[in-house]
Amino acid sequence: MAIAAVISLSITPSQALGSLPHLNTLRSLPSSSSSSSYSTLRFSSIRSNVSLRSTNFQVRASSMSIEAPGRVSPASFLDKRETGFLHFVKYHGLGNDFILVDNRDSTEPKITPEQAVKLCDRNFGIGADGVIFAMPGTAGTNYTMRIFNSDGTEPEMCGNGVRCLAKFIAELENLQGKQRFTFHTGAGLIVPEIEDDGRVKVDMGEPILKALDVPTRLSPNKDQAVVKSELVVDGVTWNVTCVSMGNPHCVTFGIKEGQSLQVDKLNLAQIGPKFEHHDMFPARTNTEFVQVCSRSHLKMRVWERGAGATLACGTGACATVVAAVLEGQANRNCTVDLPGGPLEIEWREEDNHVYMTGPAEVVFYGSVPL
């Protein structure tokens, strides 16, 4: 798939000026910094126009003239409506990356699941774990969130994706500082709040523990929940706890009567699909493999349903802390280390809600022909 990309990256003016002679050989693009003050390098394969923008000056490679001021709002870029092109912003939450689409003018996604698969391809497309659509709110909410996974399936919601969507909405609406939204999702009401430090805290609601509602075919062994139950996968017996955060999760801290799990030693690509497609999970499942570092510090790797091994999973981190508390492995307030970085998770006893706090950052802006 050819991508007519308009790509914005965070670099310093001196770095950009030094690299101008080599722009025609630019091939790889780093993720953006979380710094609030940055210059932008914009590369357009449609217009063959490269410009460096900041609040103080603008340099265009075609003329090398200097203008002031020269800031172009990302919102104006997203307002473009060329026929046959999809405009998007790519975000990531701890490396769990998404293509964000402004879909506020319609209740139907602007692309099909099949197109989403192509766009998510990391070799022939943009590359992402999923495509997220910002849609009109329903049932009294501000917005509706829908998402297509990289395999074209549609999950109920995504924790890291919720944080990215909150930042995307703030950018679309040109909102600054602390903001709170209500999102309608397939998992119900989700309430993200952008904090003063730029991180996003999300009220993920109450965990679902009833086995039939997770869903899992494993027999309940603690009230109506599955807690530290035995699951045979490829001839090996694992201890698992099943939790739904609006989407199904199977959390394991290791095999039966085995040593503590060392998650970095796992062959995730081999074992993950066997959990995901196990007969005990009629809707398939996300799977979290967890190493207990202390009662307030957990380390996790995840195999996501429909996306495979990802660098982070917000709902998975929430399910992990719930499972750890149920098994007596951890406290209700934990740092969960994922390959992409840490999330702060609290399962609050007063309201039974799970709260997730973590970053969401812009990677680049782009346009792609459909």
Q: In this structure, what token pair is assigned to residue 323?
A: 């499972």
Strand locations in 22-84, DSSP E? 39-44, 49-53, 58-60, 66-67
DSSP 201-263: EEE--PPB-BGGGTT--SPP-BTTB--SEEEEETTEEEEEEEEESSSEEEEEEEETT-PPP-G
Q: Residue 277 burial (CB < 10 Å; 0-12/13-18/19+)?
A: exposed
Give me the active site residues, please: 158, 313
Residue bearing tokens 């722009």:
23
> Going by DSSP bridges, is the β-strand pair 96-102/130-136 parallel, antiparallel, or unpaired?
parallel
How many helices, marked H, and strands, marked E, lie in the chain? 6, 23
Please state, in angstroms and rounded to a whole number, the distance separating the CA atoms of residues 333 and 322: 10
| 247 closest CA partner among 135, 155, 150 | 155
Q: How many residues does the chain have?
A: 370
| Euclidean distance between CA atoms 97 and 176, whole angstroms | 23
| Residue 290 tokens, joined | 């967890």
Name the one residue in this structure whose structure tokens are 């924790």.
Answer: 159
Cα(226)–Cα(247) distance, integer angstroms: 16
For residue 279, which amino acid is it? D
Residue 215 · residue 283 · CB < 8 Å: yes
